[in-house]
Chains A and B, each alone.
Chain A
Amino acid sequence: MAGQIKKTPRLLLSLFLLALGTIAQAEDRVHIYNWNDYFAEDTLSGFQERTGIRPVLDLYDSNEVLEAKLLAGASGYDLVFPTAHPFAARHIKAGIYQPLDRSKLPGLDQLDPAIMASLARVDPGNAHLVPYLWGTTGLGVNPDKVRAALGEDAPLDTWALIFDPEQASKLAGCGISLLDDPTEVFAAALAYLGKDPNSQAPEDLEAAAELIKAARPHIRYFHSSQYISDLANGATCVAHGYSGDVLQARERAKEADKGVAVVYRIPREGAVLWTDVMAIPKDAPNPESAQALIAYLLDPSVIADVSDYVYYANPNQAATPLIEAELRDDPGIYPPSEVRARLFTPDERSEREMRHLNRLWTRLKSNR
């Protein structure tokens, strides 16, 4: 769910790296399948220096693509980075990961116990999954344009910007975008309605669908990465998006210096907290190398550098003091505890419900 950034270069890069990967046939290798912009620039070169294992990196841009490859089998990857809920949870059920040798991963006990406990719900005993980075899904807002449309004291930290038809109709002119992801959008709609965001009750889903349908005329587009550049150049004023991506848009707007301001807000009604995890597929060709890479990424100084680079928080408590103060104090990256209390993790839905939700989503998007 990280950096849905710059689709074109990502695709090109992944093709290029794929080509490189097939050429490189060194002895000790580890094949990594990760989101793009999810390592610091020197993370992998540092790993090779330390261990002598040659990392080969491929990139993907959605959990679905990763999942399709893993379920088809014989993916050839040694280490993958799915989002814990609901993806990795489902993979654990399908039995496609191998258990970790915890004796070789001494860094595990530095990880945030709250996150480990939440992972243990889907991965008993934390046997297969190690958390890598985490973030939230909230609102990227252009404060000047939103206040111009709604008034000086309009609150920015609320889903009402999207789901209250009165506010949304005033903001439609400057542009509202939603993630193209039913799990995220339904969770936000249920949170706005004050219902359990994980509710499986048909009447709750029905109410959420009605809410989204009513907002549909005011939504400019559904997309999971387009909003980054649109926020940065002022083409959109409210975007439902991932924390790190919105923060990237903020940095880009600052660099462009054209008077566009972007802020990231976690809505007061509650928002999704997600964790991306590391896991080793059962049919991984080099599981020992993958273990070595996990151990390396558990090193506090390594993961602190990653967070500094990608604007996502990490679960390593020993790394927190090493992170740049500017990031550590950013409530969008490390939310204060009263905000964290409002965050929730999407539960896994049954396969049948998930399909129902996805088909409902296709229908809502096409305005039928």
Chain B
Amino acid sequence: MTRLSKRSKRLRPSGEHRLSRLINIGLPYLWLGLFFLLPFAIVLRISLAEPLLAQPPYTALWEWAEQGILQIRLNLGNFQLIREDDIYLAALLNSLWVALVGTLGCLLLGYPMAYAIATAPERRRILLLMLIILPFWTSFLIRVYAWIGILNANGLLNNFLLWLGVIDTPLKILHTQTAVYIGVIYSYLPFMILPLYANLTRLDPTLLEAAADLGCRPWRAFTRVTLPLSLPGIVAGSMLVFIPVVGEFVIPDLLGSPGSLMIGKLMWTEFFANKDWPLASALAIVLLAVLVVPFVLMQRLQQDDEDGRT
């Protein structure tokens, strides 16, 4: 960076340079501030308010009382309720579990696919990648709805299995946790494949040749060389799947059982049915806190990885 900036200093007048550097550094921070910190501050502020039947439906956090006295009212009751009522913990744990199963499913399906694409001839790779991305051209909502038609008691899957004679009575898949797993794995598979693919194509094939020269069998070479080197791809793909699935609302709502507890659905109830924006915001804050932990872990892993390379 310093070397680069010294060189560019010679090329351009310094005022313009300073401006461009300001933009270069400032833009990501502006982005972060505008689209992460500001919304976070708003949600945090609402989570400390009390619900109110008004427009907007929560109390103000501070008020100017008479004679220059600033009154601040912080309501920690929402966080207390979340801690005391075990339904929120149960929903959070179930959401984490669904995200874990979904992530593992995506990894087991996605790794061989990403590997196959990365090792395919260059010309075919584009086509294969296109096939992965193609479903995105249809709306996510419509694709999840399509699964209702497939998993229904008189849907495609059951009719096919009945026709084959594998089963006598239709399987009950729709409105169960299994349907949620299927929906999650289907919807999020590309998010696993793409970072894995990007990682696997960058691996140096000569490493595998060297392993083979030294008498290492292909499977062992895979577990000792390819797999450890693709770890950053696995972590990135897993995060891209895990984090959004924890807060997933559409898939459990359409495919899951009405009694299944998911944190996204509870937030919906609090926000829409209860008009309790403060509690919904508090839930969002708790969810964020829970998700920050794996994110920090990923950062550390990447840091280690970079340190290891230099």
A binds B: yes
Known contacts A221-B175, A368-B90; A68 and B271 CB within 8 A of each other: yes
Q: Write the chain B residue with the least CB distance to A96.
A: B55
Known contacts A71-B55, A71-B56; A65 and B272 CB within 8 A of each other: yes
Q: Which of B120-150 contact A (CB under 8 A)?
A: 141, 145
Q: Which of A64, A221, A351 contacts B257 (CB 8 A)?
A: A221
A11 at interface, CB cutoff 8 A: yes
B8 at interface, CB cutoff 8 A: no
Residues of A within 8 A of B85 (CB): 359
Known contacts A94-B55, A368-B90; A358 and B258 CB within 8 A of each other: no
Taking the nearest CB of chain A, how far is it from the CB of B158, in angstroms?
13
Binary per-residue interface labels of chain A (168-207) against chain B in the complex, 1 for a CB within 8 Å, 0 otherwise? 0000000000001000000000000000000000000000
Bound Cα distance from A95 to B272, whole angstroms: 19
Q: Which of A8, A93, A180, A351 contacts B275 (CB 8 A)?
A: A351
Q: Which of B57, B87, B272 contacts A368 (CB 8 A)?
A: B87
A72 at interface, CB cutoff 8 A: yes
A355 at interface, CB cutoff 8 A: yes
SS class, residues of chain B in contact with chain A: loop
A235 at interface, CB cutoff 8 A: yes
Taking the nearest CB of chain A, how far is it from the CB of B298, in angstroms?
32
Contact B258 A64 (CB under 8 A): no
Q: Which of A29-82 contact B (CB under 8 A)?
A: 62, 64-65, 67-68, 70-73
Bound Cα distance from A320 to B154, whole angstroms: 41
Q: Which of B153, B260, B276 contacts A355 (CB 8 A)?
A: B276
Contact A64 B259 (CB under 8 A): no
Contact A358 B269 (CB under 8 A): yes
Instruction: Identify the B interface with A (CB < 8 A).
Output: 51, 53-57, 85, 87, 90, 141, 145, 153-154, 175, 257-261, 266, 269, 271-276
Instruction: Identify the A interface with B (CB < 8 A).
Output: 8, 11, 62, 64-65, 67-68, 70-73, 90, 93-96, 180, 221-223, 233, 235, 351, 354-355, 358-359, 362-363, 365-368
Having A351-B53, A354-B274, A359-B274, one finds 17 other A-B pairs with CB under 8 Å, namely A11-B141, A68-B272, A68-B275, A70-B55, A71-B54, A71-B55, A72-B55, A96-B55, A222-B258, A233-B154, A351-B275, A355-B51, A355-B274, A355-B276, A358-B269, A358-B274, A365-B259
